[in-house]
Structure 1
Amino acid sequence: MNTTLATFENDVIEASALVPVLVDFWAPWCGPCKSLGPLLEKLEHDYAGRWRLVKVNVDEHPQLAAHFQVRSIPHVVAFASGRPIDQFTGVLPESQLRAFIERLVPNPAQLERRAALQALQEGQGALARDHLLAALALDPGFDEARLDLIELLLDEDRSDDARREAGLLSPKTTQGIDVRYNALKTRLDALDAVAELPSTDALEAAVAADPANLDARFDLANALIARRAYEPALGHLLEIVKRDRSFRDDVGRKTMLSVFDLAAHDHALVSAWRRKLSAALH
């Protein structure tokens, strides 16, 4: 594919959000370009869509060459996620060129996860789930995809399935400080706790009757987290922090941090409650 100044944004920047894009700066009079160009085209075909080749004729589009400081050709710039991440000048042997490409291209499981995230953005939850299951079939140890699946299952109120998937996560995720896992575990723990708790109305009545009843307040916070009512849950957790930092080994503050991760999409809410927590701790 040949690109121009007018189409570069679409052909390269936007396209590289899905797969890596290699931009080949060349010219018809350039001898080495005549060797590199066909080799890049062959490898693009061999990789079957795992990366895209885009060509820029520097004689026709000197602005693009100048923008990327191309001083000698052939010159190749690799793009991923909308930005240049690597480059080389001259003709590389096929083995070195393959090694350069291998550092850029996602593996098949990663491609399935990208397709899942795209499907989620388009509101296609079932399709996203299929892509995530395909990613995990290709790479059962792909914890990022499994965390995506757990989150999707929880959003679909399939908590039992989510728990089963959580049990398949690797120790490096479950025993470390993985932020996403800790947040999802808080949500799963809240769902487990709710099954044994009185109704939300009863818990609210208990807290109203005795504001110092931190057990009831924490139970109420869990019930709210399970319903994804994060703001009122944060209010009760902050009250626990203010009243007794030592309660259940500082569970109020720790749970607030997990809720911040659960509600990360709501930047205003998280920012406001982070400030409140910071003020309470000082």
Structure 2
Amino acid sequence: MSQDTPYIFDATTLTFDQLVIQNSYLKPVLVDFWAEWCAPCKVLMPLLKQIAEDYQGELLLAKVDCDAEQDIVARFGIRSLPTVVLFKDGQPVDGFTGAQPESAIRALLEPHVQMPPPAAADPLVQAQELFAEGRIADAEAVLKALLGEDNSNAAALILYARCLAERGELLEAQTVLDAVKGDEHKAALAGARAQLTFLREAANLPDVADLKTRLAKDPQDDEAAHQLAIQQLSRQQYEAALEGLLRLFIRNRSYAEGLAHKTLLQVFDLLGNDHPLVTTYRRKLFAALY
């Protein structure tokens, strides 16, 4: 017996009762009666295989080569190909002849076969998506459960530290980051540390309104420009911060020993190389440098 997967297989005269009739008491079995010379059979078979794969073992697919298995053809009175019959509890319960669209086949199966539940989402991916949406408390809850099972998961620890930092728990966030071992997540770790740095700095700076007033009076106030960018970064206003830092760099690249350039690089760490803002502002920074 050749076998595609545990739930897609060939059935012969010798194995039909075991593989189809007996199995159908456990799971519905779809039987595809086909032949090598039958062009519609060749169109239909990949579709049936895909449908069986989608059911992840809740539906079995048996293939019967009618040229080789004339006894089965005679037993079930198969007159045209392709013919597809659904067996359940030892009996044929539904079927069709000729090639059919996928929607019709799925509609036929729906009353008889239960679709498996969708696979559970990776909790780390789920937490990352929640964090990106600003749902910090929800992300933190997912991460706590994940870390309860494996407290050495570096990616989860880093994201958990970022959640703590967003809530203002800066010391606790630093402690969590200090527990991360190895270099595998070097970029994410650099980003989390940059976030902590910006939040710490922002806590000791004048508020945004005061800084904007200073800049309105004196657009060349480099200190106010840099401090405003830090405040914006602490509030996740990344584009505004990057634009302000780039303008400061172009205007006075030597301000505070190249602080604007250093801060731009920290923001790139924070957002990660794949972030569209990083792509844009790396290009702008390169143009300004050269």
Taking structure 2 as the reference length, what is the TM-score of the superposition? 0.51
Give the match for residue 194 of structure 2. 186
Provide structure 2 residue ranges, at least 5 long, that are not aligned to the other structure: 20-28, 35-43, 54-120
What secondary structure, in the 3-state scheme, does the structure 1 residue paired with 2:152 have? Answer: coil
Deviations 1:28-74 (A, max 9, x none): 338xx9xxx9xxxxxxxxxxxxxxxxx9989786326999xxxxxxx
Judged with a 3 Å threshold, the aligned counterparts in structure 2 of structure 1 residues 268 and 121 are, in CA distance, closer, same or farther, namely closer
Judged with a 3 Å threshold, the aligned counterparts in structure 2 of structure 1 residues 194 and 23 are, in CA distance, closer, same or farther, namely farther
Give the match for residue 141 of structure 1. 152
Distance 1:157 1:56 in 2: 58
Select which of 244, 249, 257 maps to 1:241.
249
Structure 2 residue 133 is matched with structure 1 residue 150: no
The count of corresponding residues between Structure 1 and Structure 2 is 198
- The CA deviation at 1:171 is 5.4
Judged with a 3 Å threshold, the aligned counterparts in structure 2 of structure 1 residues 248 and 146 are, in CA distance, closer, same or farther, namely farther
Q: Percent identity?
A: 27
Give the match for residue 140 of structure 2. 129
Give the match for residue 239 of structure 2. 231
Give the match for residue 50 of structure 1. none
Distance 2:133 2:253 in 1: 42
Instruction: Check whether the contact 1:183–1:262 (CA below 8 A) recurs between aligned residues.
Output: yes
Structure 2 residue 229 is matched with structure 1 residue 221: yes
What secondary structure, in the 3-state scheme, does the structure 2 residue paired with 1:170 have? Answer: coil
Give the match for residue 261 of structure 2. 253
Distance 1:58 1:185 in 2: 59
Distance 2:31 2:131 in 1: 37
Instruction: Check whether the contact 2:161–2:173 (CA below 8 A) recurs between aligned residues.
Output: yes
Give the match for residue 63 of structure 1. 46
Structure 2 residue 163 is matched with structure 1 residue 163: no
Instruction: Check whether the contact 1:221–1:234 (CA below 8 A) recurs between aligned residues.
Output: yes
Distance 2:225 2:132 in 1: 36
Instruction: Check whether the contact 2:273–2:279 (CA below 8 A) recurs between aligned residues.
Output: no
Give the match for residue 113 of structure 1. 124
Judged with a 3 Å threshold, the aligned counterparts in structure 2 of structure 1 residues 126 and 216 are, in CA distance, closer, same or farther, namely closer
Judged with a 3 Å threshold, the aligned counterparts in structure 2 of structure 1 residues 196 and 120 are, in CA distance, closer, same or farther, namely closer
Give the match for residue 9 of structure 1. none
Structure 2 residue 40 is matched with structure 1 residue 29: no
Aligned-pair Cα RMSD in Å = 4.5
Taking structure 1 as the reference length, what is the TM-score of the superposition? 0.52
Deviations 1:84-121 (A, max 9, x none): xxxxxxxxxxxxxxxxxxxxxxxxxx954355457668
What secondary structure, in the 3-state scheme, does the structure 2 residue paired with 1:27 have? Answer: strand
**More helix by proportion, 1 or 2?**
1
Provide structure 1 residue ranges, at least 5 long, that are not aligned to the other structure: 1-21, 38-54, 68-75, 77-109
- The CA deviation at 1:264 is 6.2
